[in-house]
Amino acid sequence: MIVWDLAADTTFRAAREGVMKALKVAGRGDGGITMRQLLLMALRRTGSRGRYVLGSGIPLILFSLVVVGCASHSLVPAAQSAAIRTRERALASHADAIQAGVRQSGSLGALAFLDAQDGRLVLLPGDSPGDAWGRYTTSSESQTNPVSVPPVVTFVYRTDVPKAPETITQSDLQQQRTSAAALTTELRRIEERLGLVQRELAGTKQDTDKALADMRALAEDLASVRKFMLQTAQLGWLNHELVVESSNGMRKMAATSQELTASSARLEDTLRQLSESLGGQLKELAARLDAIQGKIQNIK
């Protein structure tokens, strides 16, 4: 917040003298004076080298005054119209101080008004009317050095911002502040809900990761079971092959046994025949030997 000492402001004194002399000159005529004439007279008085003073942000403020002065009197009550003209004339006389304060603050503009109690020029810098009012209400200065805000204030932009001054009521500022606070509260609630959703998502992600880990473990178990079943099938196939080979071997052994039995029987018959033949031959040989022995004995 910027508060100007108007007593030491030479620009203010010069502008005030110009306005007063313009009013006196206008009063010598038919008693009527337009806002445009009043502003041109004041400019001629405060200007240098015979030219109108259009720097330091005065055109923006004077533009609003011309608009107010040219407005239809049927739309605004006479007392309110007079109050508006008085307030705008007072602010127009402080144009240099207002622009200096805005430039010093580094903001796009400032709420400008005269303190309702002591008439001091007060500037509340900000980038918008709501921003300026919010900065003031949330600052410690609003408690330590409060100002008396009139019902209607003006937001003045810097000279390099192509915008006309805005007139706004204190109730609108309060409403904007209330709306901003409600919006901030709602944003805080949304952030809390978002945080809760994020935590839930994190928990869900952990559950999902755990489920995926369990699924991977189950897949590994299934792979192990499949491998075991495959090995079991291979062993079963090998066992079947062994059984088949054993059966074939047993059949071969049975056939061989039968062949051996038949061979044994044939061998037995052959041996019996040989034994019988040998016995006959031995008997015949014995008979021959006896005959030979008898012959030998007879010869002796």
Quick count: other Cβ atoms within 10 Å of Cβ 137? 15
Compute the average pLDDT of residues 187-212: 89
56 three-state secondary structure: coil
* Each residue's pLDDT tens digit, 157-171: 988 888 888 888 888
Answer with the residue of higher pLDDT: 17 or 55: 17
Q: What is the pLDDT of residue 3?
A: 55
Instruction: List, in sequence order, every residue forming a beta bridge with 121; answer none if it has no partner.
Output: 4, 114
Residue 126 has pLDDT above 80, yes or no: yes
- Name every residue whose Cβ is closer than 8 Å to that of residue 163 and which is 6 or more positions away in sequence: 60, 109, 157
Q: Which of 40-49, 58-67, 136-145, 154-163 has the highest mean pLDDT?
A: 154-163
Q: Domain coordinates of the chain in residue numbers?
A: 2-164
What are the phi and psi torsion angles at 32 (to 5°)?
-110, 140
Please indicate, yes or no, whether the overall pTM of this predicted structure exceeds 0.95: no
* Each residue's pLDDT tens digit, 175-192: 888 888 888 889 999 999
Identify the helix (H) or strand (E) that includes residue 159: none
pLDDT band per the 50, 70, 90 thresholds, residue 62: very low
What are the phi and psi torsion angles at 157 (to 5°)?
-90, 160
Contact of 38 with 22, CB cutoff 8 Å: yes
Q: Which amino acid is at 131?
A: D
CA dihedral 137, 139, 144, 149 (to 10 degrees): -30
Residue 10 has pLDDT above 70, yes or no: no
Write the CA distances from 259 to 245, 249, 272, 273, integer angstroms.
20, 15, 19, 21
Query: 């299934």: which residue's tokens?
Result: 222
Quick count: other Cβ atoms within 10 Å of Cβ 126? 21
Residue 154 has pLDDT above 60, yes or no: yes
